[in-house]
C-alpha cells in the first residue's frame, strides 16, 4: 500500500481562509518529511469551511517549498475551466518540478449550481469532451502525440512544451466515472469521503474497463478517505467531534462550522440516534495510529487499491500534522 495525503485547506478554530491556505504549505512540508508519496489539493468554491479554490496556485508555491513529494490537484474541476488553459497551467507546473506533478480531474463543480453559474461552468455533461481536448494538448506539448495538420486542434498548442507531462487521474465517486477513467487509460482515485460508500466496486469496474493509452500503460487505482490518529483512541475520537459534527450538519442540509469541541459535542448530542449521525460515525476512522493504519490497510486490500490517500484532518494545524506523523510512523514499521 502506497500512502499519500490529501489536504483541503480546512478553516479550523478561529483561523481565516487566508491562514488556512498558508497552513497547507506547512502540511505539505510535514507530509514530505514523513515520507508520504503524494499530496493532493482540492478545488472548492463558496464554502466557508474550506480555503482554497485554486489548487494550481498552491501547487506552484509547493514546487518551491518541497523537493521530493509529488504534488497533485485532487482535483481540478475541469468543467469550470478552459481545457487549453488547464493544459498550459499544468505544463508550466511540470516545467517547475519535472516528474513531480500530477493532474487529478473531477467532473463536478466543486460548489453549488448557483456558484457554478457565476464561474461560468459548462456543467458536468461536458466533461468527456473537455477531457479529450485537455489530454490532446498535454500529449502534444510533451511530444508523445503531436497535433498534426489533420487534427481538429491543428495550429493550437499548449505552452510550455517539454519532454514530459503530468500524470493524469480522474477523481471518481461512482462506477460510471471509474469506467470512464479505465476506458481513457488514466489513473483513478475513488473519493470514499465524498461518495460515502466503499470503493471496491468502482476499482474493480475501472480495472475491467482499463485500456492502455499514451497517458498510461498500466492501471493505477487509489482510494481517498478521512482518517484521524492521536496518541489514544479516546483522544482521537474526542478531537474528531468537530469534523463529525460538520459532516452531520452538511448531510442534514445546512452547513455549519464548529470552532470548538464543546459546541460540536452539543450538536452531536442533539442528533443522537439519527440516521445521519449513525452513518457518519459508522464510517469514521478516528483512533490510535496502529488501529487507523490497520483500517487503511484493510480498506486498500478489500478494494484492491494501489494507493491510499489520507485526508489531513484534525481540530488544529498541529493536530493534523501530528495525525499524519503518527500514521506514517506505523506505515514505515509495517513496510
Beta strand 2-7 pairing with 101-106 = unpaired
Stretch among 12-16, 141-145, 310-314 having the lowest mean pLDDT? 12-16
Extract the C-alpha cell encoding 256: 455549519
Which residues does residue 227 pair with via DSSP β-bridges, in sequence order?
312
Helix (H) or strand (E) run with residue 3 in it? strand 2-7
Confidence label for 148 from pLDDT (cuts 50, 70 and 90): very high
- Give pLDDT tens digits for 176-227: 999 999 999 999 999 998 888 899 999 999 999 999 999 999 999 999 999 9
Q: How far apart are CA 11 and CA 317, in angstroms?
A: 9
pLDDT of residue 47: 87
Q: Is the pTM of this model over 0.75?
A: yes
Extract the C-alpha cell encoding 305: 487499491
End-to-end CA gap in the chain: 9
Extract the C-alpha cell encoding 302: 478489500
Q: How far apart are CA 107 and CA 126, in angstroms?
A: 8
Q: How far apart are CA 78 and CA 107, in angstroms?
A: 6
Q: How far apart are CA 242 and CA 251, in angstroms?
A: 14
Confidence label for 325 from pLDDT (cuts 50, 70 and 90): very high
Structural domains of the chain sorted by starting position, each given as residue range(s) with its CATH number in brackets: 2-222 (3.20.20.30)
- Give pLDDT tens digits for 42-73: 999 998 889 999 999 999 999 999 999 999 99
Residue range 278-305: mean pLDDT, rounded = 95
Residue range 76-96: mean pLDDT, rounded = 97
Amino acid at each position: 500500500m502506497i500512502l499519500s495525503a490529501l489536504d483541503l485547506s480546512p478553516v479550523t478554530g478561529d483561523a481565516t481562509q487566508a491562514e488556512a491556505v498558508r497552513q497547507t504549505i506547512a502540511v505539505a512540508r510535514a507530509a514530505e518529511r514523513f515520507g508520504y508519496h503524494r499530496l493532493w489539493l482540492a478545488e472548492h468554491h463558496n464554502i466557508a469551511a474550506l480555503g482554497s479554490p485554486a489548487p494550481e496556485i498552491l501547487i506552484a508555491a509547493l514546487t518551491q517549498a518541497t523537493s521530493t513529494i509529488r504534488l497533485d490537484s485532487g482535483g481540478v474541476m475541469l468543467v469550470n475551466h478552459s481545457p487549453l488553459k488547464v493544459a498550459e497551467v499544468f505544463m508550466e507546473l511540470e516545467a517547475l518540478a519535472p516528474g513531480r506533478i500530477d493532474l487529478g480531474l473531477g467532473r463536478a463543480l466543486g460548489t453549488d449550481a448557483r456558484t457554478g453559474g457565476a464561474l461560468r461552468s459548462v456543467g458536468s455533461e461536458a466533461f468527456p469532451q473537455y477531457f479529450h481536448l485537455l489530454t490532446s494538448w498535454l500529449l502534444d506539448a510533451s511530444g508523445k502525440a503531436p497535433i498534426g495538420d489533420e487534427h481538429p486542434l491543428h495550429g493550437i498548442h499548449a505552452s510550455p512544451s517539454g519532454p514530459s507531462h503530468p500524470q493524469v487521474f480522474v477523481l471518481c465517486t461512482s462506477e460510471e466515472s471509474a469506467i470512464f477513467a479505465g476506458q481513457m487509460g488514466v489513473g483513478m482515485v475513488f473519493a470514499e469521503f465524498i461518495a460515502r460508500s466503499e470503493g471496491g466496486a468502482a476499482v474493480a469496474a475501472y480495472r475491467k474497463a482499463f485500456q492502455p493509452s499514451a497517458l498510461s500503460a498500466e492501471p493505477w487505482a487509489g482510494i481517498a478517505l478521512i482518517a484521524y490518529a492521536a496518541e489514544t483512541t479516546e483522544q482521537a475520537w474526542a478531537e474528531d467531534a468537530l469534523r463529525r459534527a460538520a459532516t452531520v450538519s452538511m448531510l442534514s442540509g445546512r452547513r455549519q462550522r464548529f470552532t470548538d469541541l464543546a459546541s460540536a459535542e452539543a450538536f452531536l448530542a442533539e442528533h443522537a440516534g439519527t440516521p445521519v449521525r449513525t452513518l457518519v460515525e459508522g464510517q469514521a476512522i478516528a483512533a490510535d495510529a496502529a488501529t487507523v493504519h490497520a483500517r487503511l490497510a484493510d480498506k486498500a486490500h478489500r478494494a484492491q487499491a494501489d494507493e491510499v490517500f489520507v485526508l489531513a484532518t484534525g481540530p488544529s494545524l498541529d493536530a493534523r500534522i501530528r495525525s499524519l506523523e503518527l500514521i506514517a510512523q506505523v506505515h514505515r514499521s509495517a513496510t
